Amino acid sequence: MSASSFLVLLGRGCTQTFRRPQLALPASFSMVQLRLESSQAVPAARLPYRVKVNAGKRYAWCACGHSQKQPFCDGAHRTKAPTISPLRFTPEKDQNVMLCACKQTKNAPYCDGSHFKVIFQDVVKSVKGVFK
């Protein structure tokens, strides 16, 4: 519908509502998207969590990033990322630790500084968005 015919209809008091056409994706595409979403961890935050852990107590560190009880697992991976399991660990002594929140660490569940890479990628994305 052209803009002029829309204005004519509007002038006549037409109350028809216009809907944005739905983008029809092939079933295989949406399945691929679902697979990608369920197999990749998402950053829960960009900086690590400082947590006091107790010796001998078992913890389950959220590896998928979907938990609402970060940095620990609340079972959200079962529905949102079924291919990712939490990492269970038992500290040997009472201490304060930095647990990874970006979910990119190579030393899970502890922060290894990989969040700087995530932050840098975010900055690059925003700069690219500005100069589009």
- Dihedral over alpha carbons 44, 50, 56, 60 (to 10 degrees): 0
Complex with ligand FES: residue 6 or 116, whichever CB lies closer:
116
Q: How far is the CB of 25 from ligand FES (least distance, A)?
A: 33
Closest CA to 69 of 38, 101, 46: 101
Bond prior to 91 in cis (omega within 30° of 0)? no
Q: How far is the CB of 18 from ligand FES (least distance, A)?
A: 46
Residue ranges binding ligand FES (CB under 6 A): 48, 100-102, 104-105, 111-115
CB burial of 83-104 (b: ≥16 within 10 Å; e: otherwise) equals ebebeebeeeeeeebbbbbbbb
Spatial separation of the C-alpha atoms in residues 52 and 59, rounded to whole Å: 11
Q: How far is the CB of 15 from ligand FES (least distance, A)?
A: 53
Q: How far is the CB of 35 from ligand FES (least distance, A)?
A: 24
Complex with ligand FES: residue 77 or 101, whichever CB lies closer:
101
